[in-house]
A and B are shown apart, each in its own frame.
Chain A
């Protein structure tokens, strides 16, 4: 039962974030790459305002898998590091927290491109 709630929560939160992004593309007429950049930045700001954590509690992966979740991870990492180490945390905390995602993106991205070609 708990598991079912988690999946439904993820579906709805993730789905709604994507709907918001889609509306910015279709109604706001912004190109998708711009919307990606905006999403990460807005996610970071929302996280700083304490708005993103409740979303993660309800949505789980539905909040962390879409790109605003990336901004959230960066900000939480920075805040944790700043709290611990002061000003220097501003420089290290973000990427420390996002290290796995960024490394995976470079590694798997590179490997996939190495083994595959655009389909003919």
Chain B
């Protein structure tokens, strides 16, 4: 095939998208489980459910409920109804996207299920932003969820199993985050924050095989995507108030910082991890930190969305990280590829500065 010269004019560098009409995050909401509610962000969640079954019969149904709640809350905050959404883009960790698909069943809107493991949140935001900037939609609902018990029994051991978790283990967040993205031309200049750039990541596999050490498996992918984003945009880590990874945990974050240092970016002062913020690691027995799709989704929706909207934060790079494995792949001896999606979100104050 002869490749003709063509130009994707919203593309920047090798793998970044710069949106021509940066989609507006009209609202975001986070619903969390009881343990997350007792963590440092407890007060910021829109709702903390009192029990981990959320009044349902199974952990999986509970996760569906969390996802529905988060989407309805985000819609409510945006003053919209489900029927106002053009599409819904949602992801989770369960087999065949068990939570998203079943939540989509009750929402009754055209639906895209996204599997990116724990990177589903930023991946969904990326796709939704492309849909809006591409002119395919006015309003898109984005959501991601995870549930500790549902994930444990699928990926590791049954809940009441009396084994010891190694210190590299992370704790899957029970909760769901949702956001409503809208076309900026429909809401006017005053509506912020906006998604200005997105950098989809490559699958990076460094040969890690331990399903209890996903931070190490994902850190190279996070560093790879952050490096690509900075290279493509010509920015440095200092151009962001915060670069926040999804669920690398303590060790994974340190590895990512060192990998970035090797390629000439000092991200140490600005790089933090959602998994390190959602629990009180001294008091709550979570080892390396939180993980799961809901980790970056709830921390972003509960904490950073508010900071960006109020202008307390100018610009951040959200980097959700995923470990692409299943019980089948690791039992067959495959290593665990990691992936990371980066989304740059700006507040109005950042935009004003650029105008000057």
A interface residue numbers (CB < 8 A to B): 25, 32, 118-120
Please measure, in the bound complex, the distance between the C-alpha atom of A120 and the C-alpha atom of B33, giving whole angstroms: 11
Chain A residues near B159 (CB-CB < 8 A): 118
**Which residues of B from 45 to 78 have beta carbons under 8 Å from A?**
51-53
Please measure, in the bound complex, the distance between the C-alpha atom of A34 and the C-alpha atom of B330, giving whole angstroms: 15
Q: Are B160 and A119 in contact (CB under 8 A)?
A: yes
Chain A residues near B52 (CB-CB < 8 A): 120
Chain A residues near B158 (CB-CB < 8 A): 118
Please measure, in the bound complex, the distance between the C-alpha atom of A120 and the C-alpha atom of B51, giving whole angstroms: 6
| Residue with the highest number of chain A CB atoms closer than 10 Å, among B51, B52, B160 | B160
Q: Are A118 and B160 in contact (CB under 8 A)?
A: yes
Chain B residues near A120 (CB-CB < 8 A): 51-53
| Residue with the highest number of chain B CB atoms closer than 10 Å, among A25, A32, A119, A120 | A120
Q: How far is the CB of B62 from chain A (nearest CB, A)?
A: 9
Q: Could you jot down 11 A-B contacts, CB within 8 Å?
A: A25-B164, A32-B163, A32-B164, A118-B149, A118-B158, A118-B159, A118-B160, A119-B160, A120-B51, A120-B52, A120-B53
Chain A residues near B163 (CB-CB < 8 A): 32
Please measure, in the bound complex, the distance between the C-alpha atom of A1 and the C-alpha atom of B158, giving whole angstroms: 43
Chain B residues near A118 (CB-CB < 8 A): 149, 158-160
Please measure, in the bound complex, the distance between the C-alpha atom of A119 and the C-alpha atom of B53, giving whole angstroms: 10
Q: How far is the CB of A115 from chain B (nearest CB, A)?
A: 13
Chain A residues near B160 (CB-CB < 8 A): 118-119
**Which residues of B from 220 to 256 have beta carbons under 8 Å from A?**
none
Chain B residues near A25 (CB-CB < 8 A): 164
Please measure, in the bound complex, the distance between the C-alpha atom of A119 and the C-alpha atom of B158, giving whole angstroms: 12
Q: How far is the CB of B224 from chain A (nearest CB, A)?
A: 27
